[in-house]
Amino acid sequence: MIKNSLILASLIASVGFTASAFAYNSGNIDSGCKKPRFKTFTPPHKAEADPESEISFTVSGYADPTTIKVTAKNIPLKLNIVDKNSFYAVSATLPASLTGKYARIHLKANNTVECKAKDGWLIKIRDKAENTDTTTKSSE
pLDDT tens digit sequence for 93-116: 999 998 888 999 999 999 977 799
Choosing among 3.40.50.300, 2.20.25.90, 3.40.1190.10, 2.60.40.10, the CATH entry for 38-129 is 2.60.40.10
- In whole angstroms, what is the distance from residue 136 CA to residue 126 CA? 16
**Three-state DSSP class for 116?**
strand
Of 54, 50, 33, the residue nearest 111 (C-alpha) = 33
Segments in 28-127 forming alpha helices (H): none
CB 108 within 8 A of CB 65: no
Q: Which residues pair with 107 in a beta bridge?
A: 70, 119
What's the chain's average pLDDT? 82
pTM given for the model: 0.69
Is it the case that residue 47 has pLDDT exceeding 80?
yes
pLDDT of residue 128: 78
Helix (H) or strand (E) holding 54: strand 54-60
- According to DSSP, residue 112 is labeled T
| Residue predicted with more confidence, 15 or 50 | 50
- Bridging pattern class, strands 116-125 and 48-49: parallel
